[in-house]
Amino acid sequence: MFILKLVFKNAFRHKLRTILTIFGMAIAVIAFGVLRTVVTAWYAGVDASSADRLITRQAVSFIFPMPYAYKDKIEQIPGIDVVSFANWFGGTYIDKSNFFARLAVDADTYFDAFPEFLLSEQELANFKKERNACIIGSDIAKQFNLKVGDMMTLEGDIYPGTWEFVIRGIYKPKNKNTDATQMFFQWDYLNELIEQQSPNRGNQVGWYIEKLADPSQSAEISEKIDALFRNSAAETKTETEQAFQQGFISASGAIITAMNVLSFVIVGIIMLVLANTMIMSARERTREYAVLKTLGFSTGHITGLIFGETMVVSALGGGIGLLLCFPFVDGISQAIPKGMFPVFQMEPVTIFLALTAVGLISIIAAIFPIQRALRINIVDGFRFVG
């Protein structure tokens, strides 16, 4: 008990220095937590991908469409339970800063391919029977205070004009990493208007989605799909949904890598801050350690004193920083457009890494002061002036 009291008294002997060290560690932990959250949010789409879904796109580039007629041919391949498709619409809702995915989809099959979008049977039936109906995610409904029956007006860019939709359903996410920031409307509605304005742009889709009966057959079925359209005017590339999502992220790979590196550089900065404080404290107490050795304090006692002081400072700084991470992340989540990071929250792995980093830092930062205190003999300790 005496040792514990001494540890706490030593930790706060220089109150300003200790408080500044704790404050610096807290800020560094917050920065680490926020950066790691951005990285995990970036990969949320990949993590949410289903193993039993394939994505078929144009082989040259995702931006090029494919014929609607491909659907019937893909459905003939054994092992595929559902074939659906979607088309990126783009457009603007209220303001260009309101970014979220707006997709024209096959009303009859899309929600069979994506069972993680929870929708009532009545909402789905209403969506299918009304040409200009749409379904939105619960996060979008909350953000813009929308409800079933409200109108949504989009200003088209890829498909110019004013597009009006009536909300007939609000889907909820099945899992925490399911994107609840999307809007879906009927591809038939889009296709009809396109054919009236530009017939040569009609009957084309952006990509196909295949839900498989057996995920282990994904490679085999992918090859069969691509073989169907080999040497055609619009060859295809079929891959797992995870690989498809990864393709988008790889374009920003340098940014993600930089964030990863920076987050761990911050860990190094925390270590230097704490180590500097402990070295200064140990140097100031050289004569005190000589007195303790004279009184019979063992190597273990002195090691415990220094290590305990390091643990107190690091635990306070790390704990405060970790607690403040949650409101910081929540604040950022509210500030950014929902569609940019559909899932933006502190993951357990981030908390684990932060706690592990704080623990390791406290051990490493204590090593040099402990070595110095143990190596100096009693006579030299009494002679020390610092």
Residues 340 and 219 in one domain: no
Residues 206 and 303 in one domain: no
Confidence of residue 354 (pLDDT cuts 50, 70, 90): confident
Residues 177 and 259 in one domain: no
Identify whether 93 is part of a domain: yes
Identify whether 55 is part of a domain: no
Residues 25 and 94 in one domain: no
Identify whether 52 is part of a domain: no
Rg (CA), the chain: 30
Q: What average pLDDT does the segment 170-186 reach?
A: 90
DSSP alpha helix (H) spans, the chain:
2-11, 15-42, 44-47, 70-75, 110-113, 121-129, 138-143, 187-197, 218-228, 241-250, 253-284, 286-294, 299-335, 348-375, 378-383
pLDDT at 148: 94
The residue that leads in pLDDT, 155 or 6, is 155
Confidence of residue 130 (pLDDT cuts 50, 70, 90): very high
Residues 271 and 310 in one domain: yes
Residues 189 and 150 in one domain: yes
The percent of residues above 70 in pLDDT, for the chain, comes to 88
Q: Which residues contact 274 (CB under 8 A, 6 or more apart)?
A: 21, 25, 310, 313, 314, 317, 361, 362, 365
Residue 339 pLDDT more than 60?
A: no
Residues 279 and 375 in one domain: yes
Lowest-confidence pick of 83-92, 126-135, 137-146, 294-303: 294-303
Best mean pLDDT range from 61-75, 268-282, 293-307, 352-366? 61-75
Range of the domain at 128: 65-233
- Residue 196: how many CA atoms within 13 Å on its side-chain side? 9
Residues 29 and 163 in one domain: no
The residue that leads in pLDDT, 260 or 354, is 354
Residues 260 and 170 in one domain: no
pLDDT at 127: 95
pTM (2 d.p.): 0.72
Residues 300 and 361 in one domain: yes
The percent of residues above 90 in pLDDT, for the chain, comes to 34
Q: H or E element: which one contains 137? A: strand 133-137
Q: What average pLDDT does the segment 64-92 reach?
A: 93
Distance of CA 262 to the CA centre of its chain: 16
pLDDT at 246: 74
Confidence of residue 149 (pLDDT cuts 50, 70, 90): very high
Identify whether 245 is part of a domain: no
Identify whether 247 is part of a domain: no
Lowest-confidence pick of 26-35, 95-104, 332-341: 332-341
The residue that leads in pLDDT, 185 or 25, is 185
Confidence of residue 342 (pLDDT cuts 50, 70, 90): low
pLDDT at 328: 87
pLDDT at 381: 58
Q: What is the domain count for the chain?
A: 2
Identify whether 60 is part of a domain: no
Residues 295 and 349 in one domain: yes
